[in-house]
Amino acid sequence: MRIHILGICGTFMGGLAVLARQMGHEVSGSDTGIYPPMSELLAAEDIALRAGYEPGHLDPPPDLVVIGNALSRGNPAVEHVLDRGLPYTSGPAFLAEHVLPGRWVLAVAGTHGKTTTTAMLAWILEYAGLAPGFLIGGAALDFPASARLGGGPFFVVEADEYDSAFFDKRSKFIHYRPRTLVLNNLEFDHADIFPDLEAIETQFHHLVRTVPASGLIVLPREDEALADVLQRGCWTPLEYVETTPDALSGTMPGPAQEGWRARAVSADLGAFEVCLGEACFGRVHWSLSGRHNVHNALAAVAAARHAGVPPAVAVEALCRFRGVRRRLEVRGTVRGVTVYDDFAHHPSAIASTLEGLRRRVGGARIIAVLEPRSHTMRMGVHAPRLPAALATADEILFYDPPDLGFELTAVADALGGRARVFRRLEDIVRHVVHNSAQGDHVLIMSNGAFGDIHGRILAALADDARRGPEAGAART
């Protein structure tokens, strides 16, 4: 079959293209943002890419057009598909109809941690010799690509709550029909398509309805929104994950001990024991940090156990887990200043990332650089929560893009003298170079490329170091 994918360079759609190519289909695609690493991944799979959405890209007519959810009516390629009556579908529907039938689907849903938990779960199954298929919404360092058909019955998928396509406003995950479901958490997000948290809860309720009674749902006990979802109806066994401070310290009383929990071994949570009830299965030692990653790990262990992987084997796998790109990823250290890249774009994720970094670096100085880029962030929905989310940082630098829907200065004022607002990236780079010292940690947070500010800061630090030891040695 000849398949053309509109919006092919998105993480999900690019992964879908890889799966379709591995199935033997002839695959091509169009997008407006064709650049590495996705362009390189697709080229390696012999997938032809075309820049833009010209109707001519669909001549001769393909057997099927897969339309990404970023495209809408008025797009030239979409209008051409509709005018010519070409067969079309959404990405999630293609996955459900052509890849997932007959597979044991393990889906990871939630507002935060989906990509990391999906990567952990796929890696655990891989380490256990189960050769899973997977579709991960990011670059997992333990695999050469973000998607693979796999050789066994298991398929691990990152289950996004965003809508499926312009013609299908159901959440993507409604299509997947998982047997094993991880619900990491639930908060309000995607304000461009959901009016409120209750609307998102309705989609999660629909997802819960698709999980069989022989399946399993893994979730945190303390999440109120997920509790509301389950109150609407649940027909599947539940296993709970506990990552409260009491659970980590081993002082959680009574019934909560029945769930999955971790006993902290190191302050940065780079080492912890994995337990179910009073039974412990081993100690994870890894390069990750933060309570949110411990939660992700416990959820992955629980889901893998449902697929037949002994928890002790899952613990061994996590000790070798290398992580996911753009999740507190060290981009480099120059002049004693370490620069990190992180995908955080929601107040809860920002706070969790900063907590994890603080646990890792102790009292060292943290400079947080934030680009409010997501639709919800740009609309100002999260603005009231940003000061508290950033409180762990010693200094906060905001990038103020021209299309922002709220006043960043008000957020900066709430942080006192620790925050500054910049309208130009070069000014942020200059400020970091002249106001950082050996031992500082610069955390860049954005769900976009952010003008490669990471590389620009590292290059400017290197140039500053070449000019002499005096330059930039003291903060001003």
* Least confident interval from 46-60, 249-263, 412-426: 249-263
* Least confident interval from 74-83, 301-310, 423-432: 423-432
Strands 395-399 vs 154-158: parallel, antiparallel or unpaired: unpaired
| Fold category of 100-319 in CATH | UDP-N-acetylmuramoyl-L-alanine:D-glutamate ligase (3.40.1190)
**Residue 293 confidence (pLDDT) above 60:** yes
Per-residue pLDDT at 246 = 63
Instruction: Note if the bond before 195 is cis, omega within 30 degrees.
Output: no
**Residue 247 confidence (pLDDT) above 90:** no
pTM, to two decimals: 0.86
Confidence label for 249 from pLDDT (cuts 50, 70 and 90) = low
Per-residue pLDDT at 476 = 41
- Between residues 246 and 356, the one the model is more confident about: 356
Confidence label for 352 from pLDDT (cuts 50, 70 and 90) = confident
Per-residue pLDDT at 256 = 43
Question: Which residue ranges make up each domain of the chain?
Answer: 2-91, 100-319, 329-467
- Measured CA to CA, the distance from residue 434 to residue 440 in angstroms comes to 12
Confidence label for 255 from pLDDT (cuts 50, 70 and 90) = very low
For 146-180, how does the pLDDT look when each residue is reduced to its tens digit (9 = 90+)? 999 999 899 999 999 999 999 999 999 999 999 99
Q: Please state the rounded mean pLDDT for residues 11-27.
A: 94
For 190-237, how does the pLDDT look when each residue is reduced to its tens digit (9 = 90+)? 778 888 899 999 999 999 999 999 999 999 998 999 999 999 999 999
Is CATH 3.40.50.300 the classification given to domain 2-91?
Answer: no
Q: What is the share, in percent, of the chain residues with pLDDT greater than 70?
A: 95
Per-residue pLDDT at 473 = 46
**Residue 470 confidence (pLDDT) above 60:** no
Q: Please state the rounded mean pLDDT for residues 347-356.
A: 85
The torsion angles phi and psi of 187, rounded to 5 degrees, stand at: -135, 170
Which residues face 148 on adjacent strands? 134
Name the superfamily (CATH) of residues 329-467.
Mur ligase, C-terminal domain (3.90.190.20)
- When the pLDDT of each residue in the chain is averaged and rounded to a whole number, the result is 89
Confidence label for 251 from pLDDT (cuts 50, 70 and 90) = low
Per-residue pLDDT at 405 = 79
Q: Please state the rounded mean pLDDT for residues 325-347.
A: 86
- Between residues 357 and 376, the one the model is more confident about: 357
**Residue 182 confidence (pLDDT) above 60:** yes
